[in-house]
Structure 1
Amino acid sequence: MSTVTLKGNPVTTSGVLPKTGTDAPNFKLVATDLSSRSLNDYIGLRVVLNIFPSIDTGTCAQSVRTFNEKASQLDNTKVLCISKDLPFALARFCGAEGLENVESLSDFRDGNFGKSYGLTFVDGPLEGLHSRCVVVLNEDAEVIYTEQVSEITEEPNYEAVINTLS
C-alpha cells in the first residue's frame, strides 16, 4: 500500500505502482464508444497512462488538457487518460474541449485496472477512485517511468514524462 494526501490528509491506495523495468499489467478498459481496449491494442507504441480520480475536477481536467497539448509533439506515442468516470462523461469533456490527441478510457466496469496497478483508494473521501498517477510504457509495454502524485490536488510532473520520451 502507498499513502498520498488529499488537502494534507492521508489517503491509502490498494498497492504500489508497477516497478520500472517490469512488464506492465494487462488491462481491459472501456473507450468512449463503449468498446473494450486492452494493453495489447497499444503494443508497438510508447504509451503514457495519465490516471486520475475524476475528469470533473479542475486538476484532473488540466492534466488531460496538458497531455493533449504535449502528446501532439511526441512521435509514436499514445496518451491514455484513465479514470473510473463513465465513458459518456469522458467523451463529453474531450468533445467540449476539442481534445483529439488523447484517448479516454474508463475503469468503471470492474475496477481491475486500479487494482492491478495498485492505485485504487481504499479509504478517505475518494475511496474506490484512482490515485493521480502517470505510468509510461515503451513499445514492448515495459514500464519506463512512474509517478504517484503525493498530493492529489497537484498536477503530475509533465516535464519528467516528456524527458522520459525524448
Structure 2
Amino acid sequence: MATITFQGKPLNTNGELPAVGSAAPDFKLTNRKLVDVSLAEFAGKRKVLNIVPSLDTPTCQTSTRKFNEKAAHLPNTVVLVISADLPFAQVRFCEIEGIKHVIPLSTFRSSFAHDYGVLLLDSILAGLTARAVLVIDEHDKVIYGQLVPEIADEPDYTAALAVLA
C-alpha cells in the first residue's frame, strides 16, 4: 500500500507501482471502439502510461495535453492515457482538444488499477486510480515509474521522457 494526498489529505492505494526493472503486468483495457486491448497490442514499442483518475478534471486534462505535445514525435513510442472514464467520454475529450498522439484507454471493466497498485481505497476518490506515470520499454520492462505524491499535481514530464531520449 502506498499513501498519497488529495488536497493535503492522505489517500491509500491498494499496492505499489510495478518496480523499475520488473516486467510490466499484462492488462486488459477498453479502447474507443469498446474493444479490449492488452499489453501485447503494443508489442515492440516503448509505452508511456499516463494513469489519471478522470479526464473530467483539469490536472488530468493538462497531463494528457502535455504528453500529447511532448511525446508526439518520440520514435517507436506510444502514449496511453488510462482512466476510469468511459471510452465515449475519453474520445469526446480527445476530439474536442485535438489530441491525436495519445491513445485513451478505459479501466471500466478491468483489473488494471488493482494489478498496477494504483487503485484508490478510501476518500471520495475510492475506486478511481491514483495519478502515476510508467514508462515501459519495447521488451515490456518497466524503465520509469512515478506515483505522483499529491493527486492534484502534475507528473514530472521531464523525468518520464528523459528515459526515452
1:3-82 correspondence runs (5 A): 3-82=3-82
Identity %: 49
1:24 is matched by which residue type in structure 2?
A
Deviations 1:99-139 (A, max 9, x none): 000000000013x0000000000001100000000000000
Q: What letter corresponds to residue 159 of structure 1 in structure 2?
A: T
**Separation (CA, whole Å) in 1 of partners of 2:106 and 2:162:** 27
Quote how far apart the aligned CAs of 1:17 are.
0.3
TM-score (norm 1): 0.98
CA contact (8 A) 2:71 2:161 kept: no
For 1:147, give the aligned amino acid. Q
Per the TM alignment, residue 10 of structure 1 is displaced from its structure 2 partner at its CA by: 0.0
Deviation sequence 1:17-67 (CA, Å, 0-9, x none): 000111000000000111111001111000000001000000000000000
Structure 1 runs (4+) deviating above 3 angstroms are none
Aligned length, in residue pairs: 165
**What is the TM-score with the length of structure 2 in the denominator?**
0.99
CA distance in 1, matches of 2:160, 2:121: 27
- Provide the secondary structure at the position in 1 that maps to 2:82: strand
Q: 1:84 and 1:16 mapped to 2: Cα distance?
A: 19
Specify the code of the residue in structure 1 equivalent to 2:161: I
Gapped runs of 5+ residues in structure 2? Answer: none
Aligned equivalents of 2:161 and 2:133: distance in 1?
11
* SS of the residue 2:65 aligns to: helix
**Is there any run of 5+ residues in structure 1 with no aligned partner, and where?**
none
- The letter for the 2-side match of 1:131 is A
SS of the counterpart of 1:66? Answer: helix
Q: Tell me by how many angstroms 1:73 deviates.
A: 2.3
Distance 1:29 1:88 in 2: 14
Aligned partner of 1:2 in structure 2 is: 2
> RMSD of the TM alignment (CA)?
0.6
